[in-house]
């Protein structure tokens, strides 16, 4: 049975969520503050299968909670529940490290579907981790992209750079995958926003730049002089797998 941590200060909504999620066969734990959520998740993130995180909370807000969690290396799947549906808010959430979001008011069936999606991904990651440890297991198809001394393991949500491993959020992986799929070609911020995030509204597409900054920190030897994740002035970005030595 999957254990869901619900971080929500509005009691009505929290109890409603508990009732409905339990009816769907989930176990639910409720907390009302970001601090309480962090205390639980930092001590044992493994205990929870998925987190539903409200943004507007007393004390630490949802953005702070998720960024502290990710900074501490805890990658429990997290869905942000927000009354603020502006693309800038959504992007801020993704930049802070959430895996998915839903705006309030929301449809319960949609919430359940989103949770199932996150849990499926989580199970799949766990299965592939166990798989690697099993000696007699048949080879599994790898969803890996290798460039130079770096490799992106999309199935594990990991980026390996020489002997270092960086965990990726799903959105970081999706951004990277999209750029890799268009290797060598400039990709506009607007296209990324539409194709990766499914956002079609006019918005400050520079919010995407935060993702690139983070990915550069992992990938580039010198993030101030990128060789793989290049800026295409006035347009967006271009991924180059094997930059020429002289560049
Ligand atoms: Ca709230």
* CB contact at 8 A, 164 and 209: no
Give residue 126 CA to ligand 1 midpoint distance, Å: 31
On the question of pLDDT at 125 being above 80, the answer is no
Give residue 57 CA to ligand 1 midpoint distance, Å: 5
With cut-offs at 50, 70 and 90, classify the pLDDT of residue 133: low
* CB contact at 8 A, 5 and 31: yes
Work out the average pLDDT over 27-55.
93
CATH topology of domain 3-125: Rossmann fold (3.40.50)
With cut-offs at 50, 70 and 90, classify the pLDDT of residue 4: very high
On the question of pLDDT at 151 being above 90, the answer is yes
With cut-offs at 50, 70 and 90, classify the pLDDT of residue 246: very low
Residue 44: CB atoms within 10 A of its CB come to: 10
Give residue 32 CA to ligand 1 midpoint distance, Å: 9
User: How far is Cα 44 from Cα 76, in angstroms, rounded to an integer?
Assistant: 10
CATH code of 140-245, in short, is: 1.10.10.10
User: How far is Cα 110 from Cα 97, in angstroms, rounded to an integer?
Assistant: 21
Least confident of 38-42, 72-76, 223-227: 72-76
Ordered by start, the domain boundaries in the chain are: 3-125, 140-245
Give residue 5 CA to ligand 1 midpoint distance, Å: 15
Give residue 9 CA to ligand 1 midpoint distance, Å: 5
Give residue 10 CA to ligand 1 midpoint distance, Å: 6
Phi, psi dihedrals of residue 187, rounded to the nearest 5°: -120, 125
Residue 27 confidence (pLDDT): 94
Give residue 13 CA to ligand 1 midpoint distance, Å: 9
On the question of pLDDT at 156 being above 90, the answer is no
DSSP letters spanning 61-118: -HHHHHHHHHHTT----EEEEES---HHHHHHHHHHT-SEEEESS--HHHHHHHHHHH
CA atoms within 13 A on the CB side of 34: 17
Give residue 206 CA to ligand 1 midpoint distance, Å: 27
Give residue 130 CA to ligand 1 midpoint distance, Å: 37
Give residue 58 CA to ligand 1 midpoint distance, Å: 8
């Amino acid at each position: 049975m999957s254990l869901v941590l619900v971080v929500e200060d509005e009691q009505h909504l929290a109890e409603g969520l508990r009732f409905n999620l339990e009816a769907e066969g989930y176990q639910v734990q409720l907390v009302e503050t970001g601090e309480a959520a962090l205390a639980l998740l930092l001590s044992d993130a493994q205990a929870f299968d998925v987190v539903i995180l409200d943004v507007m909370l007393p004390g630490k807000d949802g953005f702070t909670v998720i960024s502290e969690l990710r900074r501490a290396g805890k990658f429990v799947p997290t869905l942000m529940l927000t009354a603020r549906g502006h693309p800038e808010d959504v992007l801020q959430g993704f930049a802070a490290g959430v895996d998915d979001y839903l705006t309030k008011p929301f449809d319960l069936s949609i919430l359940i579907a989103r949770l199932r999606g996150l849990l499926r991904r989580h199970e799949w990651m766990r299965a592939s981790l166990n798989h690697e440890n099993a000696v007699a297991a048949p080879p599994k198809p790898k969803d890996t992209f290798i460039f130079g001394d770096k490799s992106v393991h999309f199935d594990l949500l990991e980026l390996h750079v020489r002997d270092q491993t960086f965990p990726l959020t799903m959105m970081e992986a999706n951004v990277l995958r999209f750029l890799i799929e268009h290797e060598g070609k400039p990709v506009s911020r607007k296209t990324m926003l539409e194709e990766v995030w499914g956002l079609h509204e006019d918005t400050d597409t520079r919010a995407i730049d935060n993702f690139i900054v983070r990915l550069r920190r992992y990938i580039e030897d010198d993030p101030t002089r990128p060789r793989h994740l290049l800026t295409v002035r006035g347009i967006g970005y271009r991924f180059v797998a094997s930059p020429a030595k002289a560049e």
